[in-house]
Chains A and B, each alone.
Chain A
Amino acid sequence: MASLKGSRRRGIGLHLVLIAGLLLSVLPFYWAVIMSTHSSTEIFSYPPKLLPGSHFLENARHLFDNVDFFGSMFNSLLVACSVTVLVLFFDSLAAFVFAKFDFPGRRVLFALMMAIFMVPAQLQAIPQFVIMAKLGWIGSMTALIVPAAANAFGIFWMRQYMRSAIHDELIDASKLDGAGFLRQYWHVALPVVRPGLAFLGIFTFMGQWNDYAWPLIALTNPDNVTLQVALSQLNGVHGTTDYGMVMTGALLALVPLLIVFAIGARQIIADLGKGAIR
């Protein structure tokens, strides 16, 4: 270890660069905190404020006066939670079938499912809108929940997971004990693939929470929207006048997401890498 001193110095330089990158990652969040805690006049002053101020509660009050913040947050939670539960159930059930059973048409059905990845959302947007209108779902959360209740990505992901995680002997043993298909799925398969389900669940929740394009056109009543749409309305109408209020909304809308991410970060980061290398 002749170059211990040199390598230590290099280590410090390394961490300085990494910390600079970390600060760049976090800077926009910090900037949002700054703006959400200042009044409009302070925001428009030069040089810009770099430390938090004391107007957060005032900005929050303006926010709640201008938009049904908790109502739209409830809508977002309703959609994200419902979709997550449905996706976990339907996707893992289908994945179990594709991973562990053989039946006529299995290959064709699976290939068909994978082909759906290729179809861009715009091709479906207009007819979906028309179908939803015919069903009378436009303006309600049903229009967001039902089409998202099962997806090809989740089935593919869970199938890959189940193929390696569930051993055939395990299923054979449960068959000998007289377990039917549903018992095999519920009591044998699901407990083994909990980490895979956790990843899919967190991923689905965050995706739904952040979804914007479809809710923007499917929720036509401005009083009954998801949080992201409510935020963009706020930005559109009051954007130039009250930045403190808009920033407060943007920050508060991130809170549930950050909680979910903090819980599942390790899982997400590890599994994402795995998915890319596979």
Chain B
Amino acid sequence: MATAPALETTTPPTVTRPLPARPGKGVLGHWRLYAAISPFYLLFLAFGLIPVGFSLYLSFHRWDGLGPMEFAGLSQYRYLLTDSQFWSSIGNTLVIWALATFPMIFLSMVTAVLLNSAVRFKNVYRFAYFLPNVTSIVAVAIIFGSVFSTNFGLVNALLQAVGLDQVAWLNTPWGIKVAVATLMTWQWTGYNAIIFLAGLQTIPGELYEASRMDGAGPVQTFFRITLPLMRPVLLFVLVISTVTGLQTFSEPQVLLQTTDNNSSFAGGPGHSGQTMVLYFFQQTFDNNDFGYGAAVAWGIFLVVIIFSIINWRLVQRRGED
């Protein structure tokens, strides 16, 4: 992080001046600057920092949101460790993430390479490919709900047309996960293709020319030149998709909310589409178990941290060689 130059400078920018440059102008002298940045910090304090502290406090208590709080010590965390529904929600989240992310990265990489070599209509393609990402998940999940519908869905109509059996997509454990993952893949492939394309355009053309001179085919060129140089961008996409994928909520919530009368956060038959965040919502806002909900939230935070560390290690090791 480089230091921004101070404003009131009379010396040329090349000369480094000692900071602080203005004696006698302490904290009070800069009150305008503090006032200008204060809205963010006030909002952060009220709706960020205090809530995080409160949720830690809450996770050691039993509370239904209305009555008195009751100290519970570590018992809720102890229960969390043995809570099979929590563990299966972790499993669901990871399976859906993997089913969505690997096809998505493959498809967006292919799309980016093709786009990079296409000369005409590049902007038309980019616009159309980006469209899925800007649309609301609610509207899109409703649409995909009908695409994967058992009786009149587009997917089953296609299966029937080629002589295969219908699949009850939104009623079977794997069908649910495939449907949710398909939605996510559809939504993010174009977005990541744009990111990859920006990365591809930073690779100097001479490198490609040189490899062509050496007689390398397009596949060889891709694995020898494109992929190694794209590693940083690839890891950026992987990191972002992991952090967002682990917090998947809206897609399965909208897609599966009608399947259980007691909770709109149940995640389909047998909770097989219930992600970690859906489970958090169910415990907190459907069961009014605010204390346990807070413990679940910290559990999710831990899982996210563990995967962030794995990602970070991945980036570090790549950076070394």
Contact = CB atoms under 8 A, between A and B. Distances in A.
Given A24-B186, A126-B297, A277 B202 contact: yes
B39 A251 contact: no
Interface string A209-243: 11011000100000000001001100110011001
A78 to B, nearest CB: 17
B211 interface: no
Contacts of B237: 276
A131 B52 CA distance: 12
Interface in B256-304: 257-258, 264, 277, 280-281, 284-285, 290, 293-294, 296-298, 300-301, 304
Contact of B146 (A212, A232, A247): A247
B111 interface: yes
11 contacts: A28-B143, A100-B4, A101-B33, A116-B44, A122-B277, A122-B301, A127-B52, A149-B43, A265-B127, A273-B194, A273-B198
A212 B250 CA distance: 7
Given A26-B131, A28-B143, A168-B7, A18 B114 contact: yes
Interface stretch (B70-78, B80-88, B147-155, B172-180): B147-155
A210 B20 CA distance: 45
A120 B201 CA distance: 33
Interface stretch (B98-106, B117-125, B220-228, B313-321): B117-125
A48 B122 CA distance: 33
A121 B247 contact: yes
A64 interface: no
B284 A125 contact: yes
A200 interface: no
A268 B130 contact: yes
B54 A127 contact: yes
B145 A102 contact: no
Interface of B: 1, 3-9, 13, 19-21, 26-27, 30, 32-34, 36-37, 39-41, 43-44, 46-48, 50-52, 54-55, 58, 65, 107, 111, 114-115, 117-121, 123-132, 134-140, 142-147, 151-152, 154, 157, 160-161, 186, 190-191, 194-195, 197-199, 201-202, 233, 236-237, 247, 249-250, 253-254, 257-258, 264, 277, 280-281, 284-285, 290, 293-294, 296-298, 300-301, 304, 308
A77 to B, nearest CB: 14
Contact of B65 (A98, A130, A171, A266): A130
A104 B27 contact: yes
A108 to B, nearest CB: 11
B198 A127 contact: no
Contacts of A250: 138-140, 142-143
Contacts of A231: 136, 138-139, 142
Nearest to B161: A47
Contact of B290 (A14, A120, A126): A126
Given A35-B146, A102-B6, A146-B43, A25 B52 contact: no
Interface of A: 11, 14-15, 17-18, 21-22, 24-26, 28-29, 31-32, 35, 43-48, 90-91, 93-94, 96-105, 107, 109-110, 113, 116, 118-128, 130-131, 146-147, 149-152, 155, 163, 168, 171-172, 175, 181-182, 185, 206, 209-210, 212-213, 217, 228, 231-232, 235-236, 239-240, 243, 246-247, 250-251, 253-254, 257-258, 261, 265-266, 268-269, 272-274, 276-277
Contact of A261 (B134, B144, B257): B134
